[in-house]
Amino acid sequence: MRMRATATLTNGDTSEYGLGLRRERSYRGTRVLESTGNDPGYQVYVGRYPDQQFDVVVMCNAGSAANPTLLAHGVADVLLGRDVATASPATTQTGTAVPTASLSAHAGVYMEPTTGAIVGLVMRDSQLAIAGSGGRALIPLGSNRFAVVGEAGDLLFSADARAGYLRRIPGQRALRFEWHEPVAPSRQTLAPYAGEYVSPELGGAVYHVTATDSTLVMRVNAAPPLIAHVVFEDTFLSGGYTIQFTKSGRKVTGFEVTNARMRRVKFTKRPETT
**pLDDT tens-digit map of 43-52:** 899 988 888 8
- Verify that 205 and 262 share a domain, yes or no: yes
- 40 found inside a domain: yes
Greater model confidence, 102 or 21: 102
- 208 found inside a domain: yes
Residue percentage of the chain with pLDDT more than 90: 42
Domain boundary among 64, 88, 112: 88
- Reported for 48-54, long-range contacts at CB under 8 A and 24+ positions apart, including other chains, are 49/76, 49/80, 49/83, 51/83, 52/80, 52/83, 54/79, 54/80
- 99 found inside a domain: yes
Would you say residue 89 has pLDDT above 70? no
- Verify that 12 and 84 share a domain, yes or no: yes
Mean pLDDT to the nearest integer, 236-248: 93
- Verify that 95 and 80 share a domain, yes or no: no
- Verify that 48 and 122 share a domain, yes or no: no
pLDDT of the residue at 92:
44
- 274 found inside a domain: no
- Please provide the average confidence, as pLDDT, over all residues in the chain: 85
- 237 found inside a domain: yes
- Verify that 62 and 16 share a domain, yes or no: yes
The values of phi and psi at residue 147, to 5°, are: -100, 155
Range of the domain at 262: 187-269
